[in-house]
Amino acid sequence: MRKLAILAALASTALAAPAFARDNAWYVGVEGGAMILEDLKFDVGPSTLSPGGQAKVDSKTGWDVDGIVGYD
């Protein structure tokens, strides 16, 4: 476990990049990663649409990828 933590720390430093901030310039970026969510169950007050008063959110493992474009 200790070797894994050291390897993760070294890998993160290899992926780090300095910020090249400049005024009046375009910027482009991409970010992403895995999303691991647990199922969520909560109670809702009774209504005409939901006589049982329960709701369940069934989420699955997935990916989140974002693209960023802008001008500063």
d(CA 36, CA 61) in angstroms, rounded, equals: 5
How is residue 50 written in tokens? 């939901």
Taken in order 15, 19, 20, 21, the sign of the CA dihedral is positive
| Number of Cβ atoms within 10 Å of the Cβ of 20 | 7
Return the closest-CA partner of residue 31 out of 65, 69, 72, 70: 65
Task: Fill in the DSSP letter of residue 64.
Answer: E
Task: Return the domain boundaries, the chain.
Answer: 24-72
pTM of the model: 0.40
* Tens-place pLDDT, residues 21-56: 678 888 899 999 988 877 666 666 666 666 666 666
Task: Fill in the DSSP letter of residue 48.
Answer: S
* Tens-place pLDDT, residues 8-17: 887 777 666 6
